[in-house]
Amino acid sequence: DGGITQSPKYLFRKEGQNVTLSCEQNLNHDAMYWYRQDPGQGLRLIYYSQIVNDFQKGDIAEGYSVSREKKESFPLTVTSAQKNPTAFYLCASSIGLRGMNTEAFFGQGTRLTVV
């Protein structure tokens, strides 16, 4: 089946530890995104990538890092520098025509809890 997969669905970590969230897509999409959603809130853009080996900061990139070494993979690391890491993290991908966004497909999300 084609789609976008995030793992794990739930993740618990101790404060001060880095943690990496996985995002894989087999849709052959160029563009990939990471969003953070807090309870009752909208989606805030953390990082996005328009093409492999390139990525750009979103509105709330501090305390996060990403890599895009392969077209199908866009992992997000939540570092210990992120002051409030507990949240629902959503990964998305789209065909990525420059200047003309197309439909974004979302993964099921990872709910990260830092204790």
Residue ranges that bind another protein, judged by CB under 8 A: 31, 33, 35, 40-45, 48, 50, 56, 58-59, 90, 92, 94, 96-109
On whether the CB atoms of residues 108 and 7 are closer than 8 A, the answer is no
Contacts of 65 (CB under 8 A, 6+ apart): 76, 77, 79
Q: What's the closest the beta carbon of residue 113 comes to another protein, in angstroms?
A: 16
Smaller CB separation from another protein, 26 or 41: 41
CB-count burial class (<10 Å; 0-12, 13-18, 19+) for 86 = middle
Q: What's the closest the beta carbon of residue 16 comes to another protein, in angstroms?
A: 29
The span from the CA of 109 to the CA of 93, in Å, is 13
Smaller CB separation from another protein, 16 or 39: 39
Q: What's the closest the beta carbon of residue 39 comes to another protein, in angstroms?
A: 11
Smaller CB separation from another protein, 1 or 103: 103
